[in-house]
Each structure stands twice: as structure tokens, then as C-alpha cells.
Amino acid sequence: MGIRIVNRVESLLCPRIPNLPWELGELLKQIPAGCVTTFGDLAEALGDLTAARWIAQELGSHPIGPWYRVVKRTGELAGTDSDRMALQRDMLAAEGLNFNDDGRIDLADCRWCDFTCPAPLRQLAAWQSELAVRADGTTEVAIPPLIGGLDVSYVSDNQAVAAYVEIDVASGATVFSATHHAEIGFPYLTGYLTFRELPIHLALIEQVRQEKPLAKVILVDGAGQLHPRRSGIAVGVGVVADCVTIGVAKHRLCGRAVSGDPEPLLELNGAVLGQSLIGTTSRKPLQISPGHGLSVASAVACVRAVWKHGRTPIPIREADALSRRVAKAAKA
């Protein structure tokens, strides 16, 4: 299940994006009566322990299958709803499970980990690692007259609006804009934003290219190469759509500052992959890193050229505002 990303790079075949809620449901079906598993066990079966938080949230809001057979790694019941926790306790007791005096299940006797699953997140992570090898982070690029911005706003959890805005660098005025409204088939997981937002970004880019050439440099709301696998959303957009991109993130996923300056360079595994920048009117830093097609220094220079005021550079700010307006109208 899922959608295939349209790929402009013939030698790089993009993966099929999995339907994670369906995969989770299939895992739950494998837990035998009288056994329990943990959120972490399910996450590891899907291919990445970081998915444990999403699994807890998903089962908390959309209980599917034998949801009650999932507990914390301590053997405690999860959640804050007392009625639901009482129901879970009764259902587990009916299957012969015993609780200790402190309300925990002894996992040593009933923990189920023997899942059969293709580990879809591991496959996606491998694709990101391959993508990172193809990303260019060294080319020096001059500040172009026009710089674009990409951002996404959500109509609902599974519908979104992507916006593309081009800004005249000299004046800061918007010279072109476009939006694309589409369904989103992948949840938000830390480190995997690419698979949630890349399809809608690519569809919007193809739409724009049918009207006009893209801006020479595009800012993308999200991480670039400063990413655990050096493959944030800006890398995906840049490599797959074959355009020059910069990741502009409010929060740093990884890496460390390598100087004591107010705007330090950011390093990951010995490589400088970005820089923390502070705007003229906002003291909250942004984490800037190349997506594809330019160096850290060039990325920083381009961002500075269009970050006159406010929390974010003008192209990102305008793309965010446009996508929000269209998403709000779609909700109405």
C-alpha cells in the first residue's frame, strides 16, 4: 500500500511509501492471546525504535485490533484515561494475565517479540542514506535575483496544502506563487518527514515547472543535510526534483556547535553541515543546512539575503502564510 514518488533522477528508484497504520494493525494481529508486547517492540518490528512514540499516540487515538495487548516496557498500562485503562486491565485479565501489586505485568513470562514484518522504516532509512550520497553540499553558488520557498500546512491529519513562493531578493516582494492540495499518506515521525511531505512538494514543483522555470535556489521548511542520515526533506526535494535547495529548520535534530560564536557552525560526525543563524529582529536561531546543489557558506549567504525581519526568511514566511490561508479555506 502507498504511493510511489515520481522521480526525475533515473538512476535512483524511490521507495514505495508504506501505509504504517495498516502495518501496525498487521503486527497487532500477530500477538497471541495471553501475551503482550511493548511500544518499543512494535517500533523495532517496523524498523526504527523512534516510532514508539507515534505508535503510542496512534493506539491512544485510534485503537485497532487487540490494542489492549500493548503495554509500556516496564509492564505498566499506558495512558491517562482511567476508564480505558480499567477496560484494558479487564481484557488482559480475561486472557489469563496477572498483575503484580504495583499494577505491572511481569513481561518475562508473556512478552511477545516474534513478529514477521518487512521493517518498512528500515527500508526508508536505507533509501535516505543512499540519497545523502548523491546530495551536493560543496558547490559555491552566487545569490540569485529570485529565491523560492516551500512550506506545508495541514487541512487535517491526512490532507495538506503545499505552497511555493518566489521572492525578489532586492525588494522582498512576491513575484510568483502556487499551491497544491493533496492527501498525505504517511504520519509524522522524527527523521522521516521526507516521506510525509516529499510527494506533495514534488507534485507542486512539477505543477510550477509546467508554468515557468523554478527559482535558482529554493528554501525548504525542514532539515537539509544536518539530519541523522544527512537526508532531511530539503535533500529529498533537491536530489529527486533536481533543483538547488536549502534546509531551514527551527529545531536541530542532531549535530553539535563547533564554535562559541552566537551563530556557530554545526558539525555531524566530523563534517560541517550547517550553521545556526539569528535574524535581525528574532533572537531565536534557525538551523541552516544545504539540501542539494550548494555549500554551507552559499546556503547561509542566500538565507541572509532574504531574512530581513521576523522569525523566518521571507520565502518561507510567505509560503507558510499562503499554505495556511488555503488550508483554512479548505477546512471551511
Task: Note the pLDDT tens digit of each residue in 165-178.
Answer: 999 999 999 999 99
Which run of H or E residues covers position 208? helix 193-209
Q: How many residues does the chain have?
A: 332
Tell me the domains of the chain and their CATH numbers. Answer: 20-118 (1.10.10.10), 134-331 (3.30.2170.10)
- Only one residue has cell 504504517, namely 20
Task: Summarize pLDDT for 65-74 with one digit per residue, the tens.
Answer: 999 999 999 9
Task: Summarize pLDDT for 299-330 with one digit per residue, the tens.
Answer: 999 999 999 888 999 999 999 999 999 999 99
Residue 202 to residue 209: CA distance in whole angstroms: 10
Which residues lie closer than 8 Å to 94 by C-beta, 6 or more apart? none
pLDDT for residue 199 is more than 50: yes
Q: Do residues 5 and 239 touch, judged by C-beta distance below 8 A?
A: no
